Amino acid sequence: MPDVQTTSGRIRVALRRMALTVLALYLGIAAWMVVEARSQAHEPGDVVLILGAAVHDDRPSQVLQRRIDRAAAYMVEHPAVSAVACGGRSPGDRLSEAEVIRNELVRRGVAGHRIDLEMRSTSTAENLRFALPLVRARLGAESGRVLIATSNFHLARAKLLARALGLDAYGLPAATPLRLLPWASTREVLAIVKALAVDLAANARAR
């Protein structure tokens, strides 16, 4: 009959190793997120891809507003650049995320004809996958640079999934409100694990 204490000790060792593995994975992903959050394109882009976030009826949330502000400032400075605004409509909201993004860009001085809308998506992977035909139409036959306007903590996953679609993707990071950063970053680590396990392959098939 096996020694109970020996079996218990082995279980504790296995659990400790598992916990250390999970911790190492978490810290590795978090470090990658920090590096990507600070990365920006050094050459002008051709299309700005603005990823959606929550809206309140017909107004952007604080997180989405910062993404819009970042994209608007870039587009005003670079008048030849076009944009694809992403995001569907949640139950109870009057407008989709994409429509809210467009309205705010126009209010900031960006001409409406420079903005295409992707209004079906409900996730980051879908944002990028459903926007792909619009981005390609804007780029034409050339393979141009795509700038992803999204929150800094979100940029690593967004670029990973965009490049799986074959896009030459770079970052246009927007600052995240400090009070939201701890929770958003923790949740994003889990979302990256899902992206590696599921979304990456789905986007690669869609390219």
pLDDT tens-digit series, residues 7-39: 777 777 777 888 877 777 777 777 777 777 777
How many CB atoms are located within 10 Å of the residue 90 CB?
15
Q: Is residue 2 part of a domain?
A: no
* pLDDT value of residue 97: 98
Number of domain units in the chain: 1
Q: What are phi and psi of 140, to 5 degrees?
A: 70, -145
How many residues comprise the chain? 207
Q: How confident is the model at residue 46 (pLDDT cuts 50, 70, 90)?
A: very high
Taking the chain, what is the end-to-end CA distance rounded to the nearest angstrom? 57
pLDDT tens-digit series, residues 184-201: 888 888 888 888 888 777
* β-strands 55-56, 59-60 pairing: antiparallel
Q: Is residue 135 part of a domain?
A: yes
Q: Is residue 201 part of a domain?
A: yes
Q: Is residue 116 part of a domain?
A: yes
Share of the chain above pLDDT 70, in %: 94
Q: Is residue 87 part of a domain?
A: yes
Q: Is residue 1 part of a domain?
A: no
Domain containing residue 87:
7-206
Contact at 8 Å (CB) between 104 and 68?
A: yes
Q: Domain of 111: which CATH number?
A: 3.40.50.620
Report which of 5, 117, 7 is spatially closest to residue 52, judged by C-alpha positions.
117
Q: Is residue 88 part of a domain?
A: yes
Q: Inform me whether the pLDDT recorded for 202 exceeds 90.
A: no
pLDDT tens-digit series, residues 73-84: 999 999 999 999
